[in-house]
Structure 1
Amino acid sequence: MKQIELPPVWLAAFLAIAWAQSTYYPMGLSFGPVWADLLGGILVGAGLLLMLLAVVEFYKRKTTIIPRRESSAFVQSGIYRRTRNPIYLGDALVLAGLILRWDAVLSLPLIPIFIWVIEKRFIQGEEKHLRRTYRVQWATYERKVRRWL
Protein backbone atom coordinates (compact mmCIF):
# COMPACT_ATOMS: atom_id res chain seq x y z
CA MET A 1 0.00 0.00 0.00
CA LYS A 2 3.03 2.31 -0.02
CA GLN A 3 2.26 3.40 -3.60
CA ILE A 4 -1.06 4.94 -2.51
CA GLU A 5 0.94 7.30 -0.31
CA LEU A 6 2.20 9.28 -3.27
CA PRO A 7 0.23 12.37 -4.33
CA PRO A 8 0.26 11.48 -8.06
CA VAL A 9 -1.51 8.20 -7.23
CA TRP A 10 -4.24 10.13 -5.41
CA LEU A 11 -4.51 12.56 -8.32
CA ALA A 12 -4.76 9.68 -10.81
CA ALA A 13 -7.53 8.07 -8.72
CA PHE A 14 -9.54 11.30 -8.61
CA LEU A 15 -8.99 11.83 -12.34
CA ALA A 16 -10.17 8.28 -13.05
CA ILE A 17 -13.38 8.92 -11.09
CA ALA A 18 -14.01 12.18 -12.97
CA TRP A 19 -13.31 10.57 -16.34
CA ALA A 20 -15.62 7.64 -15.55
CA GLN A 21 -18.37 10.01 -14.46
CA SER A 22 -17.98 12.00 -17.67
CA THR A 23 -17.86 8.93 -19.89
CA TYR A 24 -20.48 6.69 -18.31
CA TYR A 25 -22.73 8.98 -16.24
CA PRO A 26 -22.95 12.42 -17.90
CA MET A 27 -26.58 12.80 -16.73
CA GLY A 28 -27.30 15.29 -19.54
CA LEU A 29 -25.42 18.08 -17.73
CA SER A 30 -22.87 20.27 -19.49
CA PHE A 31 -20.63 23.25 -18.87
CA GLY A 32 -20.75 24.21 -22.55
CA PRO A 33 -17.88 23.11 -24.79
CA VAL A 34 -16.24 26.40 -25.76
CA TRP A 35 -15.57 28.06 -22.42
CA ALA A 36 -15.13 24.76 -20.57
CA ASP A 37 -12.41 23.68 -22.99
CA LEU A 38 -10.70 27.06 -22.81
CA LEU A 39 -10.88 27.45 -19.04
CA GLY A 40 -10.03 23.76 -18.54
CA GLY A 41 -6.95 24.11 -20.73
CA ILE A 42 -5.84 27.23 -18.89
CA LEU A 43 -6.22 25.49 -15.50
CA VAL A 44 -4.32 22.39 -16.64
CA GLY A 45 -1.55 24.57 -18.11
CA ALA A 46 -1.33 26.69 -14.95
CA GLY A 47 -1.19 23.56 -12.79
CA LEU A 48 1.61 22.03 -14.84
CA LEU A 49 3.52 25.33 -14.80
CA LEU A 50 3.26 25.55 -10.99
CA MET A 51 4.56 22.00 -10.67
CA LEU A 52 7.46 22.71 -13.02
CA LEU A 53 8.42 25.89 -11.15
CA ALA A 54 8.38 23.98 -7.86
CA VAL A 55 10.49 21.12 -9.22
CA VAL A 56 13.07 23.64 -10.48
CA GLU A 57 13.35 25.13 -6.97
CA PHE A 58 13.85 21.68 -5.42
CA TYR A 59 16.48 20.88 -8.06
CA LYS A 60 18.33 24.15 -7.39
CA ARG A 61 18.44 23.40 -3.66
CA LYS A 62 19.38 19.73 -4.27
CA THR A 63 16.62 18.37 -2.04
CA THR A 64 14.02 15.67 -2.51
CA ILE A 65 10.62 16.26 -4.03
CA ILE A 66 9.21 12.99 -2.66
CA PRO A 67 6.88 13.44 0.32
CA ARG A 68 7.93 11.96 3.68
CA ARG A 69 11.58 11.78 2.69
CA GLU A 70 14.07 13.74 4.76
CA SER A 71 14.68 17.12 3.14
CA SER A 72 18.19 18.50 2.92
CA ALA A 73 17.05 22.10 2.46
CA PHE A 74 14.11 24.33 3.29
CA VAL A 75 12.90 25.77 -0.01
CA GLN A 76 11.48 29.30 0.25
CA SER A 77 12.56 30.76 -3.08
CA GLY A 78 10.86 31.13 -6.44
CA ILE A 79 7.22 30.04 -6.49
CA TYR A 80 7.53 29.10 -2.80
CA ARG A 81 7.44 32.84 -2.03
CA ARG A 82 3.79 32.84 -3.18
CA THR A 83 2.43 29.48 -1.99
CA ARG A 84 3.73 26.86 0.43
CA ASN A 85 2.36 24.02 -1.70
CA PRO A 86 2.70 24.81 -5.41
CA ILE A 87 2.81 21.15 -6.46
CA TYR A 88 -0.37 20.28 -4.59
CA LEU A 89 -2.02 23.46 -5.85
CA GLY A 90 -0.93 22.43 -9.34
CA ASP A 91 -2.49 18.99 -8.81
CA ALA A 92 -5.78 20.62 -7.79
CA LEU A 93 -5.70 22.90 -10.84
CA VAL A 94 -5.06 19.94 -13.15
CA LEU A 95 -7.98 18.08 -11.58
CA ALA A 96 -10.27 21.11 -11.95
CA GLY A 97 -9.13 21.72 -15.52
CA LEU A 98 -9.69 18.15 -16.64
CA ILE A 99 -13.08 18.03 -14.95
CA LEU A 100 -14.01 21.06 -17.07
CA ARG A 101 -12.49 19.67 -20.29
CA TRP A 102 -14.21 16.31 -19.79
CA ASP A 103 -17.49 18.09 -19.03
CA ALA A 104 -17.74 16.10 -15.78
CA VAL A 105 -20.20 18.41 -14.00
CA LEU A 106 -21.04 15.90 -11.27
CA SER A 107 -17.35 15.54 -10.44
CA LEU A 108 -16.88 19.13 -9.27
CA PRO A 109 -17.16 18.07 -5.58
CA LEU A 110 -14.03 15.98 -6.13
CA ILE A 111 -11.92 19.16 -6.08
CA PRO A 112 -12.47 20.11 -2.42
CA ILE A 113 -12.38 16.43 -1.44
CA PHE A 114 -9.01 16.05 -3.19
CA ILE A 115 -7.68 19.14 -1.39
CA TRP A 116 -8.88 17.74 1.95
CA VAL A 117 -7.20 14.36 1.30
CA ILE A 118 -3.93 16.02 0.30
CA GLU A 119 -3.97 18.24 3.40
CA LYS A 120 -4.66 15.33 5.76
CA ARG A 121 -2.37 12.75 4.15
CA PHE A 122 0.58 14.95 3.15
CA ILE A 123 0.59 18.66 3.97
CA GLN A 124 -0.02 18.40 7.72
CA GLY A 125 2.79 15.87 8.15
CA GLU A 126 5.17 17.83 5.95
CA GLU A 127 4.47 21.03 7.86
CA LYS A 128 4.99 19.25 11.17
CA HIS A 129 8.39 18.01 9.95
CA LEU A 130 9.36 21.49 8.73
CA ARG A 131 8.20 23.05 12.01
CA ARG A 132 10.42 20.64 14.00
CA THR A 133 13.43 20.81 11.69
CA TYR A 134 13.51 24.50 10.73
CA ARG A 135 11.87 26.09 13.78
CA VAL A 136 12.53 29.83 13.39
CA GLN A 137 12.71 29.75 9.60
CA TRP A 138 9.42 27.85 9.41
CA ALA A 139 7.65 30.18 11.86
CA THR A 140 8.62 33.22 9.78
CA TYR A 141 7.77 31.51 6.50
CA GLU A 142 4.42 30.21 7.76
CA ARG A 143 3.38 33.74 8.78
CA LYS A 144 4.43 35.23 5.42
CA VAL A 145 3.27 32.62 2.90
CA ARG A 146 -0.18 31.05 2.69
CA ARG A 147 -0.72 27.31 2.44
CA TRP A 148 -2.57 27.46 -0.89
CA LEU A 149 -2.89 30.96 -2.37
Structure 2
Amino acid sequence: MKTKIPPPILALVMIGLIYLSSLFVEQITFNYQGSLSVLFIILGAACALPSFKLFAKFKTTITPLKPSDATALVTEGMYRYSRNPMYLGLLLWTIASTIWFGTWFGIIINIVFIFLINFLQIIPEEEALLEIFGEEYEEYKKNVRRWI
Protein backbone atom coordinates (compact mmCIF):
# COMPACT_ATOMS: atom_id res chain seq x y z
CA MET A 1 0.00 0.00 0.00
CA LYS A 2 1.36 3.44 -0.92
CA THR A 3 0.88 6.70 0.92
CA LYS A 4 -1.13 9.20 -1.09
CA ILE A 5 -2.02 12.31 0.90
CA PRO A 6 0.53 14.29 2.94
CA PRO A 7 -0.67 14.17 6.57
CA PRO A 8 -0.42 17.97 7.07
CA ILE A 9 -2.71 18.45 4.05
CA LEU A 10 -5.14 15.88 5.46
CA ALA A 11 -5.11 17.69 8.82
CA LEU A 12 -5.77 21.05 7.11
CA VAL A 13 -8.71 19.54 5.22
CA MET A 14 -10.10 18.19 8.49
CA ILE A 15 -9.66 21.58 10.19
CA GLY A 16 -11.47 23.17 7.24
CA LEU A 17 -14.31 20.68 7.66
CA ILE A 18 -14.43 21.42 11.38
CA TYR A 19 -14.72 25.13 10.60
CA LEU A 20 -17.43 24.53 7.99
CA SER A 21 -19.38 22.33 10.38
CA SER A 22 -19.33 25.15 12.93
CA LEU A 23 -21.22 27.31 10.42
CA PHE A 24 -24.09 24.83 10.14
CA VAL A 25 -24.26 23.14 13.53
CA GLU A 26 -25.10 24.88 16.79
CA GLN A 27 -21.88 25.88 18.51
CA ILE A 28 -20.93 24.79 21.99
CA THR A 29 -19.36 27.47 24.16
CA PHE A 30 -17.84 27.20 27.62
CA ASN A 31 -15.48 29.08 29.91
CA TYR A 32 -11.82 28.94 28.93
CA GLN A 33 -12.65 27.48 25.52
CA GLY A 34 -9.96 29.59 23.83
CA SER A 35 -7.39 28.79 26.50
CA LEU A 36 -8.06 25.06 26.24
CA SER A 37 -7.73 25.26 22.47
CA VAL A 38 -4.38 27.05 22.77
CA LEU A 39 -3.21 24.41 25.26
CA PHE A 40 -3.94 21.68 22.69
CA ILE A 41 -2.07 23.67 20.03
CA ILE A 42 0.96 23.92 22.33
CA LEU A 43 0.78 20.21 23.20
CA GLY A 44 0.55 19.36 19.50
CA ALA A 45 3.58 21.50 18.74
CA ALA A 46 5.49 19.89 21.63
CA CYS A 47 4.79 16.47 20.11
CA ALA A 48 5.41 17.27 16.45
CA LEU A 49 8.05 19.96 16.13
CA PRO A 50 10.97 18.30 18.00
CA SER A 51 10.58 15.37 15.59
CA PHE A 52 11.89 17.50 12.74
CA LYS A 53 15.10 18.13 14.67
CA LEU A 54 15.49 14.42 15.45
CA PHE A 55 15.00 13.45 11.81
CA ALA A 56 17.67 15.99 10.83
CA LYS A 57 20.00 14.64 13.55
CA PHE A 58 19.67 11.11 12.17
CA LYS A 59 19.78 12.34 8.56
CA THR A 60 16.62 10.46 7.60
CA THR A 61 13.71 11.49 5.44
CA ILE A 62 10.83 13.50 6.80
CA THR A 63 8.84 13.14 3.57
CA PRO A 64 5.65 11.28 4.51
CA LEU A 65 4.97 10.17 0.93
CA LYS A 66 8.23 8.21 0.72
CA PRO A 67 8.65 6.18 3.92
CA SER A 68 10.79 3.72 1.95
CA ASP A 69 13.50 6.42 1.84
CA ALA A 70 14.07 6.12 5.62
CA THR A 71 17.72 5.60 6.50
CA ALA A 72 17.44 5.52 10.30
CA LEU A 73 14.91 4.31 12.85
CA VAL A 74 14.33 7.22 15.23
CA THR A 75 13.55 5.99 18.77
CA GLU A 76 14.62 8.99 20.85
CA GLY A 77 12.63 11.90 22.26
CA MET A 78 8.87 11.55 21.82
CA TYR A 79 9.51 8.42 19.76
CA ARG A 80 10.14 6.60 23.05
CA TYR A 81 6.44 7.07 23.87
CA SER A 82 4.72 7.22 20.49
CA ARG A 83 5.68 5.77 17.12
CA ASN A 84 3.91 8.72 15.48
CA PRO A 85 4.40 11.94 17.46
CA MET A 86 4.08 14.08 14.32
CA TYR A 87 0.65 12.62 13.59
CA LEU A 88 -0.26 12.86 17.27
CA GLY A 89 0.61 16.56 17.04
CA LEU A 90 -1.63 16.95 13.99
CA LEU A 91 -4.46 15.20 15.85
CA LEU A 92 -4.03 17.53 18.82
CA TRP A 93 -4.31 20.48 16.41
CA THR A 94 -7.53 19.10 14.91
CA ILE A 95 -8.86 18.63 18.45
CA ALA A 96 -7.83 22.23 19.22
CA SER A 97 -9.84 23.34 16.20
CA THR A 98 -12.87 21.39 17.40
CA ILE A 99 -12.65 23.15 20.77
CA TRP A 100 -11.97 26.56 19.20
CA PHE A 101 -14.90 26.40 16.79
CA GLY A 102 -17.13 24.73 19.39
CA THR A 103 -18.66 22.12 17.14
CA TRP A 104 -19.65 18.67 18.37
CA PHE A 105 -19.41 17.51 14.75
CA GLY A 106 -15.66 18.02 15.08
CA ILE A 107 -15.56 14.92 17.27
CA ILE A 108 -16.74 12.86 14.31
CA ILE A 109 -14.24 14.59 12.03
CA ASN A 110 -11.42 13.78 14.48
CA ILE A 111 -12.44 10.11 14.48
CA VAL A 112 -12.41 10.16 10.67
CA PHE A 113 -8.95 11.79 10.77
CA ILE A 114 -7.63 9.01 13.03
CA PHE A 115 -9.10 6.36 10.74
CA LEU A 116 -7.69 7.99 7.58
CA ILE A 117 -4.22 8.69 8.99
CA ASN A 118 -4.01 5.10 10.25
CA PHE A 119 -4.99 3.50 6.95
CA LEU A 120 -3.60 5.98 4.44
CA GLN A 121 -0.32 6.79 6.18
CA ILE A 122 0.66 4.86 9.29
CA ILE A 123 0.05 1.31 8.05
CA PRO A 124 1.96 1.90 4.76
CA GLU A 125 4.77 3.53 6.77
CA GLU A 126 4.91 0.59 9.15
CA GLU A 127 5.10 -1.84 6.22
CA ALA A 128 7.98 0.15 4.70
CA LEU A 129 9.83 0.44 8.01
CA LEU A 130 9.43 -3.28 8.69
CA GLU A 131 10.89 -4.03 5.27
CA ILE A 132 13.84 -1.67 5.86
CA PHE A 133 14.62 -2.30 9.54
CA GLY A 134 13.19 -5.80 10.08
CA GLU A 135 13.55 -7.18 13.59
CA GLU A 136 14.71 -3.83 14.99
CA TYR A 137 11.42 -2.23 13.94
CA GLU A 138 9.39 -5.26 15.10
CA GLU A 139 10.93 -4.93 18.56
CA TYR A 140 10.26 -1.18 18.57
CA LYS A 141 6.60 -1.85 17.68
CA LYS A 142 6.32 -4.24 20.64
CA ASN A 143 7.62 -1.63 23.08
CA VAL A 144 6.09 1.62 21.79
CA ARG A 145 2.43 2.27 21.04
CA ARG A 146 1.23 3.59 17.70
CA TRP A 147 -0.33 6.75 19.16
CA ILE A 148 0.17 7.12 22.93
Query: Could you tell me the TM-score, scaled by structure 2's length?
Result: 0.91
1:60 is matched with: 57
CA distance in 1, matches of 2:106, 2:75: 34
Higher relative contact order (CA 8 A, sep 6+): 2
Quick check: 1:31–1:105 contact (8 Å CA) kept in 2? no
Q: How does 1:17-56 map to 2 (within 5 A)?
A: 17-22=17-22, 24-27=23-26, 29-32=27-30, 34-56=31-53
1:100 aligns with 2:99: yes
Unpaired runs of 5+ residues, structure 2, are none
Q: Which is worse superposed, 85-94 or 55-64?
A: 55-64
Percent of pairs with identical residues: 26
Distance in 2 (CA, whole Å) between partners of 1:146 and 1:31 is 33
How far apart, CA to CA, are the structure 1 residues paired with 2:108 and 2:32? 20
CA contact (8 A) 1:30 1:104 kept: yes
**Displacement of 1:7 after TM fit?**
0.8
The alignment's C-alpha RMSD in Å is 1.3
Q: Secondary structure at the match of 2:120?
A: helix
The within-5 A match list for 1:1-149 is 5-22=5-22, 24-27=23-26, 29-32=27-30, 34-69=31-66, 70-149=69-148
Give, as a single letter, the amino acid of the residue that structure 1 aligns with 2:38: G
> How far apart are 1:112 and its partner, in Å?
1.2
Unaligned runs of 5+ in 1: none
Q: Which amino acid aligns with 1:142?
A: K
Mapped partners of 1:79, 1:106: distance in 2: 30
Residue identity matched to 2:15: L
